[in-house]
Amino acid sequence: KLYACAYEETKESIKTTLDKYSEIYKAINNSKIASYQLLANNVTKTIFENGVVVYANKSSDTVNSPVGQLTGYDFRMEREGE
């Protein structure tokens, strides 16, 4: 029963996280990493062979990045050239 309580309290958070990550997994499906860079403010930039670019904040602080502000441990995906 304790597991059910924990699940009910976090169910929406789990769904939101899965939805967000499933979008990125679909976009990079079977694509290899072409480039990985550590930028300012603990932000990384990963470029995949299919043109998908992922900026990730590796810190708990909200930081400025090339794609605007990223909250702690957040990421943003875009296509190269967009």
pLDDT at position 2: 53
pLDDT band at 1 (very low <50, low <70, confident <90, very high): very low
42-51's contacts with Cβ under 8 Å and 24+ in sequence apart are: 43/70, 47/80, 51/79, 51/80, 51/81
Q: Give the pLDDT confidence of 13-72 residue by residue, as tens digits.
A: 888 888 988 999 999 999 999 999 999 999 999 999 999 999 999 999 999 999 999 999
pTM for this entry: 0.81
Does 5 score more than 70 pLDDT? no
* DSSP per residue, 61-74: S-EEETTEEE-TT-
